[in-house]
């Protein structure tokens, strides 16, 4: 606020350049209407991770007077930035595959006390015979809530892995600029998200297994009862 006041009064018309480095890329915007306005430069490529440039508009309005600016340079370019963002969809997983293995083990451990969930697909068809999306969401939410309560009652091995997930999220959550209570709350919320996701994956796998059997997509041995 003080800087804006200075630029509006004592430094009005004297500032030629406004330089920032909070975003990790390079962009330069030039004024289009009034050339005595300062040039806007973001230069934050100091070795950290890179922020995208394609997410920002080429033409912007700045200040109380809505001065028009146009971006004349960007690094990486918008085209390269968009391409790099698409690559993140698989390169991030490829480079961090060990982390995926760790979470896969934790997810399996959380789900292992509930195998098998016999009849869950029939329960879904009875609950949502018309396959309405909203009913699907409510069915999954209610089943996950039921499994979550059973986890603390009878899921011994699943409970152990749940505590492991809580510890991992607590250790991996950045706590440098937050209070201990805030750190703990975010860690528990993060852990609960992973636990619920693991239980949702369990429901999906069980439903798909029962679906392919009921639809005859796989051959299963049948026992004749006289």
Question: How far is it, in rounded angstroms, from Cα 107 to Cα 147?
Answer: 14
The answer to which of 6-10, 41-45, 59-63, 162-166 has the lowest mean pLDDT is: 6-10
Instruction: Give residue for tokens 């440039």.
Output: 53
For the chain, give the mean pLDDT.
86
Please name every residue paired with 17 in a beta bridge, in sequence order, or none if there are none: 39
Question: How far is it, in rounded angstroms, from Cα 160 to Cα 168?
Answer: 13
pLDDT band, very low/low/confident/very high, at 223 (cuts 50, 70, 90): low
Closest alpha carbon to 51 in 6, 72, 20, 30: 20
Asked whether 88 and 49 are in contact (CB, 8 A), the reply is no
Q: List Cα–Cα distances, 86 to 47, 52, 89, 141, 171, in angstroms.
A: 21, 11, 6, 31, 30
Instruction: Give residue for tokens 């050339």.
Output: 35
DSSP code, position 114: G
Give start and end residues of each alpha helix (H) in the chain: 2-8, 78-95, 97-111, 120-127, 133-153, 156-172, 180-214
Read off the pLDDT of residues 81-116 as tens digits, 9 standing for 90 and up. Answer: 988 888 877 777 788 888 889 899 999 999 999 988
Please name every residue paired with 19 in a beta bridge, in sequence order, or none if there are none: 41
Question: How far is it, in rounded angstroms, from Cα 92 to Cα 52?
Answer: 15
What is the pLDDT at residue 24?
Answer: 87
What is the pLDDT at residue 222?
Answer: 64
Asked whether 34 and 68 are in contact (CB, 8 A), the reply is no
């Amino acid at each position: 606020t003080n800087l804006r006041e200075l630029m509006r009064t004592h430094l009005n018309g004297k500032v030629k350049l406004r330089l920032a480095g909070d975003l990790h890329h390079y962009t330069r915007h030039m004024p289009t209407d009034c050339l005595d306005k300062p040039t806007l430069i973001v230069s934050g490529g100091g070795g950290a991770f890179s922020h995208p440039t394609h997410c920002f508009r080429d033409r912007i309005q700045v200040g109380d007077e809505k001065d028009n600016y146009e971006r004349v340079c960007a690094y990486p370019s918008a085209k390269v930035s968009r391409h790099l963002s698409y690559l993140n969809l698989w390169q991030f997983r490829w480079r961090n595959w060990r982390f995926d293995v760790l979470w896969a083990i934790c997810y399996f451990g959380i789900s292992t006390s509930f195998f098998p969930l016999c009849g869950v697909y029939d329960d879904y068809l009875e609950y949502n015979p018309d396959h309405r999306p909203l009913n699907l969401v409510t069915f999954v939410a209610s089943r996950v809530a039921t499994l979550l309560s059973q986890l603390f009652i009878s899921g011994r091995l699943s409970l152990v892995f749940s505590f492991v997930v809580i510890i991992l999220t607590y250790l991996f959550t950045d706590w440098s600029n937050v209070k201990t209570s805030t750190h703990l709350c975010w860690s528990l919320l993060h852990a609960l998200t992973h636990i619920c996701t693991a239980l949702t994956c369990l429901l999906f796998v069980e439903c798909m297994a029962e679906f392919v059997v009921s639809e005859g997509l796989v051959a299963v041995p049948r026992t004749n009862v006289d």
